[in-house]
Chains A and B, each alone.
Chain A
Amino acid sequence: MAAFKKKYKNEIVAYSLLAYPLLHWGVFFVIQFFRAFGLSFTDWDIFSEANFVGFSNYTTILFKDEVFRIALINTVLWALAMAVGPLVIGFLVALMVNHISKGSVFFRTLLYWPALISKVVFTSIQERIFSSSPYGLINRLLGLFGVDAVAWFDNPDIALPSLMLWPFLMGFSFPMLFFLAGLKQIPKTFYEAAEVDGAKKSTILFKITLPLMKPIIFLNLILGMTGTFSLTEGFRALAPMQLITKGGPIHATYSVVYKIYTDGFDKYQMGYASAMSFILFAIILIMTIIQFKIQGEQVSYE
């Protein structure tokens, strides 16, 4: 026994410290993950017994569920928009804030803080700006120029782009801060050397700043290790659909997660909603693997 204790001394200490976290994680993550997977093959609705239905949930979702099809297209469009807008605008704003010598802390503070407000607040403000009535902020501005009120969220044809517009333009706060942190890490000597050589501003941007920022862009934004911002984030859009449009008008603004939410918690189709959760998981997983594969080389040179 003593010999055993001596041989495994490190393991005993380490695992006794890790015991509770591992147990907690096992109960609230691992078990739940497999439970959801199991549920996705049943027709469970909370009230009656669950029946095993094989892959029928999956085939129904993928081939027959018209609302899911709309929700999936909307989600892909949303994810693309949220990947491009906040990323590009965030990078440009970071370059600008980094460039100016006076007031850069002021602008950084001012431009970052909207990232801290809750989705509930963000969406109610968004709703007021784009309200379809003549009293919405933008409609009122248009009214000043004699333009008729636009039905933003109430017109099925433009509801989704309208819903995207504000987060697309204003979602740059978090990426901006990431990029700023990255820009600060590029040694000043690189720029000084380039300036001595008489390089143009655009040359410096494309030959020094962008190449050196690559690992930071890929590591932090695309892989999104902390989960706060990543390219797959847009696939999880829920709040604007849930709090502003309720997926309407006529399902025009459903997202996959909002569909999971309504099928699961409003209609209690737990099995069906679980299957949809795993389709979402598969999509995000595939996206992540592709990103790892494509960006693998660039990441390694940091």
Chain B
Amino acid sequence: MKRSKPTALNICIYTLLIILALLQIFPFYFTIIRSFQPESFFERATELKFLPESWNFENYPEAWRRARLGRGYLNSLFYVSVFTFISAMIAMMVGYVLAKKEFRGKNFVFLMFLSTLMVPYETLLIPNFLMARDLYLTDKLAGLIIPGLVSIMGIFIAKQFMETIPDSIVESSVLDGAGEFQIFYKIIMPMSKPALATYCILTFTDKWNEYIWPLIILNEPSKFPVQLSLLYFVDRHATGDYLATLQQAAIISTLLPVVIIYFIFQKKFVEGISITGLK
């Protein structure tokens, strides 16, 4: 059943895939090339540059300084990590209760949580902003963390996964005299690592990339996450002051954490998709 012969079909497929991959890669390639050009760099209209004229590494520190990317990095790393950790703990706990406990109203609670998914996030932008204002969460990193801490997606992933853990394991540890939290931390959590990893990776990248909510509740530049730091260049662009090379340098800088996480955990990503969707 090995199909390694170079059939016409295979050649077509490889050609198409290579074209698609190049289409995906080229914009990034040009972004990288451009990020090293001198600031005065100006291309002629009918030219495509595949290599930089010179390697201006100083674009990077300059971009970081202008857009306060260092601050943005610290803010993002802090709030994204805290959010991911706390929301993961909540999701695992709720998932555990819904998957492994028998109690009245269980299905009702689960259905109520699920119904949340029907309501688009954008419908709640305005009241959530008002809520954040009432609780004095605007212009604070806490405002980026607190509102979404109960993640329905996380609960769903955790519950689906924990239902595959045999009840007998939980029951036998109850007989051994293990307490509620012992069961959760010593048995359920270690066994649910794939679900936990999936949720954390998805949430980390999602939060790292988020810009709408920060844009709504933050005015103070010292609190900006990286995506808002990037918008500095978009705003400058709108006023006619186009810092193209610096913008490219900043863009490349912000991709780093997500790229690292993806290439380390890329197998987990694929597993995660199967866990969230197919079980």
Taking CB atoms, residues of chain A closer than 8 Å to B104 are 11
Taking CB atoms, residues of chain A closer than 8 Å to B90 are 20-21, 24
Instruction: Tell me if B101 and A13 are in contact (CB < 8 A).
Output: yes
- B-binding segment of A57-65, A78-86, A140-148, A293-301: A140-148
A interface, over-half SS: helix
* A88 close to chain B: CB less than 8 A: no
Taking the nearest CB of chain A, how far is it from the CB of B59, in angstroms?
Answer: 16
Taking the nearest CB of chain B, how far is it from the CB of A267, in angstroms?
Answer: 12
Closest residue to B157 on the A side, CB-wise? A226
Contact with A along B172-204 (1 / 0, CB 8 A): 000000001000000000000000000000100
* A51 close to chain B: CB less than 8 A: no
Taking CB atoms, residues of chain A closer than 8 Å to B230 are 118, 120-121, 124
* B106 close to chain A: CB less than 8 A: yes
Taking CB atoms, residues of chain B closer than 8 Å to A178 are 273, 277
Taking CB atoms, residues of chain A closer than 8 Å to B269 are 112, 177
C-alpha spacing A137/B30, complex, angstroms: 9
Taking the nearest CB of chain B, how far is it from the CB of A219, in angstroms?
Answer: 7
* B102 close to chain A: CB less than 8 A: yes
B interface, over-half SS: helix
* A163 close to chain B: CB less than 8 A: no
C-alpha spacing A119/B230, complex, angstroms: 11
Closest residue to B113 on the A side, CB-wise? A25
Contact with A along B7-48 (1 / 0, CB 8 A): 001100110110011011101101100000000000101111
Instruction: Tell me if A260 and B2 are in contact (CB < 8 A).
Output: no
* B1 close to chain A: CB less than 8 A: yes
> 8 Å CB contacts to A: which residues of B202-247?
202, 205, 208-212, 216, 227, 230-231, 233-234, 238, 247
C-alpha spacing A266/B119, complex, angstroms: 23
> 8 Å CB contacts to B: which residues of A205-241?
216, 219-220, 225-228, 232, 235-236, 238-239
Taking CB atoms, residues of chain B closer than 8 Å to A201 are 9
Chain B interface residue bracket vs A:
35 or more
Contact of A120 among B9, B119, B227, B262 (CB under 8 A): B227
C-alpha spacing A125/B126, complex, angstroms: 29
Instruction: Tell me if A128 and B116 are in contact (CB < 8 A).
Output: no
C-alpha spacing A228/B209, complex, angstroms: 13
Contact of B48 among A32, A141, A227, A280 (CB under 8 A): A141
Instruction: Tell me if A181 and B94 are in contact (CB < 8 A).
Output: no
> 8 Å CB contacts to B: which residues of A9-27?
10-11, 13-15, 17-18, 20-22, 24-25, 27
Instruction: Tell me if B126 and A273 are in contact (CB < 8 A).
Output: yes
* A261 close to chain B: CB less than 8 A: yes
> 8 Å CB contacts to A: which residues of B44-58?
45-48
Instruction: Tell me if B126 and A270 are in contact (CB < 8 A).
Output: yes
Contact with A along B84-99 (1 / 0, CB 8 A): 0000001001101100
* A96 close to chain B: CB less than 8 A: yes
| Size of the chain A interface, CB-CB below 8 angstroms | 98
* B147 close to chain A: CB less than 8 A: yes
* A6 close to chain B: CB less than 8 A: no
* A249 close to chain B: CB less than 8 A: no
Taking CB atoms, residues of chain B closer than 8 Å to A135 are 43, 45
Q: Given A25-B116, A181-B270, A181-B274, A124–B251 Cβ distance below 8 Å?
A: yes
C-alpha spacing A235/B122, complex, angstroms: 10
C-alpha spacing A219/B262, complex, angstroms: 26
* A285 close to chain B: CB less than 8 A: yes
Instruction: Tell me if B48 and A11 are in contact (CB < 8 A).
Output: no
Taking the nearest CB of chain B, how far is it from the CB of A272, in angstroms?
Answer: 10
Instruction: Tell me if A35 and B130 are in contact (CB < 8 A).
Output: yes
C-alpha spacing A226/B20, complex, angstroms: 27
Taking the nearest CB of chain B, how far is it from the CB of A32, in angstroms?
Answer: 4
> 8 Å CB contacts to A: which residues of B116-134?
116-131
Contact of B46 among A125, A140, A227 (CB under 8 A): A140
Instruction: Tell me if B97 and A181 are in contact (CB < 8 A).
Output: no
14 contacts between A and B (CB under 8 A): A11-B105, A14-B97, A25-B113, A35-B131, A39-B127, A93-B17, A107-B17, A111-B20, A116-B258, A134-B46, A170-B24, A181-B273, A236-B121, A243-B231
